[in-house]
Amino acid sequence: MAGEAEVTRHRAPPVPGLASSTIINASRSGARQAGAVWGFAIVLGRPTGWRETSVYGSAHLGKSLFWYASELLFAFYLTELVGLPASQMGMVLAIGLLVSAAIDLIVARVLDSQMMTAAGAAALQFKGSILCAIAFASIFLGFWIPPDLRFAYALATGLAFRTAYAIYDLPQNALMALATSDAASRDRVAATRIWFSGIATLMVAGAVGPLIAGRDEATAWLYFGLAVGIAGPAILSAGLLARVVRGTGTAKPVGVSSEPRRRLAPPPLFWILIALMFLTSLATPLFSKVEPYFAAYSLASPSWGGVIVVAMALGITLGQPIWNALTGRLSRAAVLGVGALTQAVGLGVFWALAPAAPAALAASAFVFGVGNGGVGMVLWGGFSDVVARFTQPGGAGRAYGLFTATAKVALALGGLGLGAALQIMDYRDGDADGLLLLMIVTPGLGALGCLALALAWERDNPDPVIAR
């Protein structure tokens, strides 16, 4: 067909993994026909297809409930209810994430054949949701494990969760490239997933106050109940996504040659986005990870602790229409810079006011959340666009495997740093300065790093405004 021929004229021969940057010259009309070349159905991100895109968002919400519950609560649960020393808690988080990074790469390669079409990826993420639900709930049985076995149990269940999460996460992420047609549709999907991520954070944040208020068996049952309550919506939404997304299911997508091809280097923008993922995963999450400790021991107000997390999540969610609109007026690199500056402003106000004026702290957390949402939308939308334009069929899973593995390594380093820092500070006696250093300064440095990457992106990879 004409569109298929147009894509073929402008791209390098298909190669395993990432293809030549000459693909960037493919026309917009050719991109719309990419689904026919790759062998998948275009269903997500269409201006008139918000029902399908919302189904993807709801499935991402289910997955995000697992992720944000682990990010917000794992550290606190392990130290304050399971009773692990902070150093052991840091080891549990770091080992789990480092092994998870390797698992992402292994899953991306071993299950690559199941992520060559949108339908295959959607079916795989449904299976992963079931495994993830079982593993996640098992973590919160740690309170009832004999004390001398708790460290080993936390390690084992943490690794099981990370493995199951990879089977759930990678194929769902790959759908952003496999089931979209152009840059604008990928930005719509990115904005939708960030919006639903914010809703997930709100839902988890609503439970933070009661969960950090107690240290007894009744509180342990609340943690386990939360895990069970998350499982149902996650599995149902993943199953619905698998029904909605349709693909050809071909074992070998059209246009893939069986002849060996020369592997070409990825474009520079690919590595800028990998660096951005590392930076945002290393620095930004420390705000929410340290916040329960700050609320419990510095503010001495679990209720305000919950309000601050909710405010941040509201900022992530409510800011998405703004960021989506800005991508139609500014380049992605410029939107990234604005998001990073917004983060820095929110953190700066929080630093100036803490630990007094909790209402103002919540307002500054909201601003920080707005900035987070902008950075996240650009990161995921931009990477999905690079994957869709610069990889041959079958390369999406491996590209996302490297992307998420990078995040896990950064999160592991952050977990080790958090555990070491908490081990040397007397945070239970209200060491507000030390907690604020972790909670504000580290994410602030990350925001400045994001700004530097935005400048490098704009300088080296001019990114046109995306037509809406």
pLDDT single digits (tens) 208-218: 778 888 888 99
Give 236-289 pLDDT, tens digit per residue.
999 999 998 864 343 333 333 333 443 456 788 999 999 999 999 999 999 988
Domains of the chain, with CATH numbers? 42-252+268-460 (1.20.1250.20)
The CA distance from 299 to 108, in Å, is 43
Give 149-159 pLDDT, tens digit per residue.
999 999 999 99
The CA distance from 305 to 400, in Å, is 34
Provide, rounded to the nearest whole percent, the portion of the chain with pLDDT above 70.
83
User: Which phi and psi angles does 254 have, rounded to 5°?
Assistant: -60, 140
The CA distance from 327 to 334, in Å, is 9
Give 187-229 pLDDT, tens digit per residue.
889 889 988 988 988 888 788 778 888 888 999 999 999 999 9
**3-state DSSP helix/strand/coil percent for the chain, to nearest 5?**
80, 0, 20
Instruction: Compute the mean pLDDT over every residue in the chain, rounded to the nearest whole number.
Output: 82
Tokens of 62: 């289910």
pTM for this model (two decimals): 0.74
pLDDT at 208: 76
